[in-house]
Amino acid sequence: MGKVIHVDNSEFFRKLMKTFLSEMGFESESLERGEDVIKAINAGEASMVITGLSLADMSGEELIKRIIALPHPVQIITVTSNTEEAQARRLSALGVVANILKSGDWKGDLRNILS
């Protein structure tokens, strides 16, 4: 697998995720802006994106729609504090691999998906 890009508006959570992905053996990059994710994908630098739903420059849902419109295949996972079931269904319909809640055992859930 290529590089995992993680994008979230929380610097604290970006640091947590960077450490977690490194411990799992993944090369990763943590970003704050959706536009930077799009650039990384277009440059061929990512095979997976883990995104929050609140970003510095756009919503996570907008980023997901932009990613799936790209010609490059990229898996998408959301890690969010939003527990709204309707939003989880919309994300799933867009092709999101998994919608993980930050309030739960997000590390265990993500570990299961990435293993």
State the pLDDT at residue 1. 62
Residue with tokens 């999101």: 96
Residue 58 has pLDDT above 90, yes or no: yes
Output the average pLDDT for the chain: 92
Evaluate whether residue 112 is within a structural domain. no
Q: What is the pLDDT of residues 86-101, one digit of tens each?
A: 888 989 999 999 999 9
The per-residue b/e assignment along 73-100, b for 16 or more CB within 10 angstroms, e otherwise, is ebbbbbbbebeeeebbeebeeeebebbb
Query: Which value, in Å, is the radius of gyration of the alpha carbons in the chain?
Result: 13
Residue 28 has pLDDT above 70, yes or no: yes
Q: 104: helix, coil or strand?
A: coil
Task: Return the CATH number at 33.
Answer: 3.40.50.2300
- The number of domains in the chain is 1
Cα–Cα distance, 10 to 83 (Å, whole number): 18
Evaluate whether residue 93 is within a structural domain. yes
